[in-house]
Amino acid sequence: MSTQVTEQEQEEQETVEEAVEQTEAVGAARAAQVDYGFMEEKAEQEVRDAETTVKLKVFRYDPEVAGKKEPRFDTFTVPFHKGMTVLDALMYARDHYDSSLTFRHSCRQAVCGSDALFVNGRQRLGCKTQLADLDDSEGPPGTVTIEPLPHSDVVKDLVVDMQHFYDQMEAVEPYFQTDEYPKGELEEQRQTRENREKIKMSTRCIWCSACMSSCNIAAGDNEYLGPAAINKAYRFAMDEREGEAQKQRRLEIIEQEHGVWRCQTQFSCTEVCPKDIPLTEHIQELKREAVKSNLKFW
Whose CA is closest to 146, among 76, 99, 247, 248? 76
Q: Give the rounded distance of the alpha carbon of 271 from its chain centre.
A: 17
Dump pLDDT digits (tens) for 233-292.
Answer: 999 999 999 888 888 888 999 999 999 999 999 999 999 999 999 999 999 999 999 888
What is the full DSSP assignment across 169-182? HHHT--S---S---
Contact between residue 79 and residue 62 where contact means Cβ atoms under 8 Å apart: no
Whose CA is closest to 117, among 131, 104, 98, 135? 104
Give residue 164's pLDDT band: very low, low, confident or very high (50, 70, 90). very high
Question: Domains in the chain, start-ordered, CATH in brackets?
Answer: 43-156 (3.10.20.30), 162-181+191-293 (1.10.1060.10)
What lies within 8 Å, CB to CB, of 243 at 6+ separation is 178, 179, 180
The pLDDT, as a whole number, for residue 49 is 79
Per-residue b/e over 137-171, b at no fewer than 16 CB within 10 Å?
Answer: eeebbeebbbbbbebbebbbbbbbebebbeebbeb
What lies within 8 Å, CB to CB, of 51 at 6+ separation is 80
pTM for this model (two decimals): 0.81
The pLDDT, as a whole number, for residue 218 is 94
Share of the chain above pLDDT 70, in %: 85
Dump pLDDT digits (tens) for 125-161.
Answer: 999 999 999 875 555 678 999 999 999 999 999 999 9
Contact between residue 248 and residue 278 where contact means Cβ atoms under 8 Å apart: no
Angstrom distance (rounded) from CA 65 to CA 102 = 14
The neighbouring-strand residues paired with 65 are none
Dump pLDDT digits (tens) for 91-120.
Answer: 999 999 999 999 999 999 999 999 999 999
Q: Average pLDDT over the chain, rounded to whole?
A: 86
Output DSSP code: residue 83: T
**Mean pLDDT on 59-88:** 93
> Which of the given ranges, 4-8, 45-49, 63-67, 214-218, has the highest pLDDT on average?
214-218
The pLDDT, as a whole number, for residue 1 is 38
Angstrom distance (rounded) from CA 267 to CA 271 = 6
Residue type, 26: V
Angstrom distance (rounded) from CA 27 to CA 30 = 5
Q: Above 80 in pLDDT, residue 167?
A: yes
The pLDDT, as a whole number, for residue 176 is 87
The pLDDT, as a whole number, for residue 17 is 60
Angstrom distance (rounded) from CA 267 to CA 215 = 9
Q: Above 90 in pLDDT, residue 2?
A: no
Q: In what order do the strands lie in the sheet with 122-125?
A: 72-79, 53-60, 143-147, 116-119, 122-125
